[in-house]
Structure 1
Amino acid sequence: AIIISEKLVKNDAFTSIHIEEQTIPFRNSKAGDDILTADIPNVSNYAKRSLDANGIVTVGSEVSAGDVLVGRTSPKVEDNLTPEEKLMNAIFSQKISNRKDTSLKVKHGHGGTVIDVQILSRDAGDNLEDGIEKIIKVFIAQKRKIKVGDKMAGRHGNKGVISLVLPVEDMPHLEDGT
């Protein structure tokens, strides 16, 4: 077990940066194509606040769980309509909305700062799988401070798990105050 000072946590002495990649493909199918858009049905403006006009998150944005990273709508298959939608279609004899929200959203606990967005597309000459027109990759950096339960290792193979973070005044000190 390892006991560390609260001062190490405050000074970011053992803070690490984790970069996570989230990917969303845009497919072509017989039912219709996936569309990149900022106009996503049934999504709050707050969740879409970091999107640009095209529907892609801007680099440098702070994102948290539930925020939309890439706006995508896909065609709704007629078999998957809810009874309410079937009733509305029968009454008004027109389709209410034939697209559903399939956007890329930030997962719980994976928020952070967007550091890069890459767009791979068939038009740009990228080699993609059959049926996939484009792929958008979003890279999110997350700062993680050291906490109880983290494992530490020294250069010479000595390892341990942090079991306690003590306030500075409770840490042992020398006669000269260091």
Structure 2
Amino acid sequence: VKGQVLCEGYATENGELALGRNLKVAFMPWQGYNFEDAIVINERIVREDIFTSLHIEEFELEVRDTKRGEEELTPDIPNVSEEATKDLDENGIIRIGAEVKEGDILIGKITPKGESDPSPEEKLLRAIFGDKAGDVKDASLKTPPSIKGVVIDTKLFSRAKKTTKAEEKSAIEKLDKRYELAVMNLKNELVDKLFQIVNGKTSQGVYNVYKELLFPKGAKFTQKSLSDLEYAHINPYKWTTDEDKNDQIKLLLHNYGIRVNEELGAYKRDKFAISVGDELPSGIVQMAKVYVAKKRKLKVGDKMAGRHGNKGIVARIVRDEDMPFLEDGTPVDIVLNPLGVPSRMNLGQIYETVLAWAGKELGVKFATPIFDG
């Protein structure tokens, strides 16, 4: 259809620009602080998080099969306090939602030591904790300097372990039973909730998506009849004459389908991990990844840009009362150097500023399509 959006970019949503914010801008010198494309901004911009950004950092750690033995991901790290490992799971990976700062352990790993003469401290540790504390060393991944944020995701990739056919078959059988039990529990939960909705109601005919009758019209719904239904391809519409009940049934079946697909996805991933495993480079047994999100406020030294090739560095953040203001006393949000416009001949930013100001005063929204504007 003409005018329909075919493709979205990083900066658009529904065909409209979705990046950037509208600010009151003044083109004027300000005590020399905006010389050579430097930018002066209002403190309100920082205070109200108008240009606060979210950055996601990825950290990864590899587990290798070394000549001295195989490395291991574990929360049981020698010479490390319980406080430092309290957020690590059984694989030594930090839990999602944990707040981290410089020096915190993200992924716990131990690696075998080479044979050497133990130091007095190591001899003491071996005497207290046994051989394990002495023959391995801490090789954990820690949060680097200047990083402070929240863990939002973790991933663990593992090569398939060398097992016999019988062990693999046994592991897959356990997985099959676990999946069947999970799906059965979901169905029982669905049937209980459906019965609460349709108890005492008369069926209007329940069909599957292939238009085959599953439950006759005019019959009363019972717990057993609902248990006997096959929900894989069921039609969720018009089960009863009550539209409100029908909406509840539709939503319930939709959520049930999502939960079943989640269980199926987890089952397939686990089965693949047992039989095939993740594809990893040669010599790497496991790979763990941790994603940390951090929030950054706008500060002096950051770079800002408009849509007309105009860019600059934030030179100073100024209080409201010290900023230039309009006739009605409204302080501007940002001050740009006027000498940056004529030398580059990008007058579009002036036109955009004037048009947007007029639109704001008139309560009108202007949109200019690219190439057709």
Give the TM-score, by structure 2 length: 0.44
Separation in structure 2 between the aligned mates of residue 39 and residue 86 of structure 1, nearest angstrom:
17
Separation in structure 2 between the aligned mates of residue 87 and residue 162 of structure 1, nearest angstrom:
57
Sort the Cα spacing of 1:158 and 1:101 in 2 relative to 1 into closer, same or farther, 3 A: same
Q: Which protein has the bigger strand share?
A: 1
Contact kept, 8 Å, 2:123 with 2:134, in 1: the verdict is no
Deviations 1:59-113 (A, max 9, x none): 111100111111111111114x554368769x9xx85610100011100112211
Give the counterpart letter for 1:84 in structure 2.
P
Q: 1:151 aligns with which of 283, 291, 303?
A: 303
Deviates more, 1:139-148 or 1:34-43: 34-43
In structure 2, the residue matched to 1:48 is 85
Give the counterpart letter for 1:26 in structure 2.
V
In structure 2, the residue matched to 1:35 is 72
Contact kept, 8 Å, 1:47 with 1:66, in 2: the verdict is no
Q: 2:285 aligns with which of 133, 137, 146?
A: 133
> What residue ranges of structure 2 are gaps of 5+ in the alignment?
1-37, 161-272, 331-373
Deviates more, 1:50-59 or 1:115-124: 50-59
Separation in structure 2 between the aligned mates of residue 142 and residue 82 of structure 1, nearest angstrom:
41
Q: 1:24 aligns with which of 46, 61, 84?
A: 61
Give the TM-score, by structure 1 length: 0.88
Q: Secondary structure at the match of 1:78?
A: coil
RCO greater where, 1 or 2, for CA within 8 Å and sep 6 or more?
1
Sort the Cα spacing of 1:86 and 1:134 in 2 relative to 1 into closer, same or farther, 3 A: closer
Sort the Cα spacing of 1:104 and 1:84 in 2 relative to 1 into closer, same or farther, 3 A: same
Q: Secondary structure at the match of 1:52?
A: coil
1:162 aligns to 2:314 (yes or no): yes
Give the counterpart letter for 2:293 in structure 1.
A
Separation in structure 2 between the aligned mates of residue 39 and residue 87 of structure 1, nearest angstrom:
19
Q: Secondary structure at the match of 2:316?
A: strand
Separation in structure 1 between the aligned mates of residue 86 and residue 289 of structure 2, nearest angstrom:
19
Separation in structure 2 between the aligned mates of residue 122 and residue 55 of structure 1, nearest angstrom:
17
Q: Secondary structure at the match of 1:28?
A: strand
Contact kept, 8 Å, 2:54 with 2:295, in 1: the verdict is yes
In structure 2, the residue matched to 1:84 is 120
Separation in structure 1 between the aligned mates of residue 284 and residue 302 of structure 2, nearest angstrom:
40
Separation in structure 2 between the aligned mates of residue 43 and residue 18 of structure 1, nearest angstrom:
30
Identity over aligned residues, as a percent? 50
Instruction: State the 1:43 CA deviation.
Output: 1.9
Q: Secondary structure at the match of 2:326?
A: coil
Q: Secondary structure at the match of 1:60?
A: coil
Q: Secondary structure at the match of 2:46?
A: helix
Separation in structure 2 between the aligned mates of residue 34 and residue 6 of structure 1, nearest angstrom:
51
In structure 1, the residue matched to 2:171 is none
Sort the Cα spacing of 1:16 and 1:121 in 2 relative to 1 into closer, same or farther, 3 A: same
Contact kept, 8 Å, 2:154 with 2:290, in 1: the verdict is yes
Deviating beyond 6 angstroms after TM superposition, the runs of 4 or more aligned structure 1 residues are 86-89
Contact kept, 8 Å, 1:75 with 1:98, in 2: the verdict is yes
Give the counterpart letter for 1:139 in structure 2.
Y
Pairs aligned (count): 175
Greater CA radius of gyration, 1 or 2?
2
Separation in structure 1 between the aligned mates of residue 122 and residue 90 of structure 2, nearest angstrom:
32
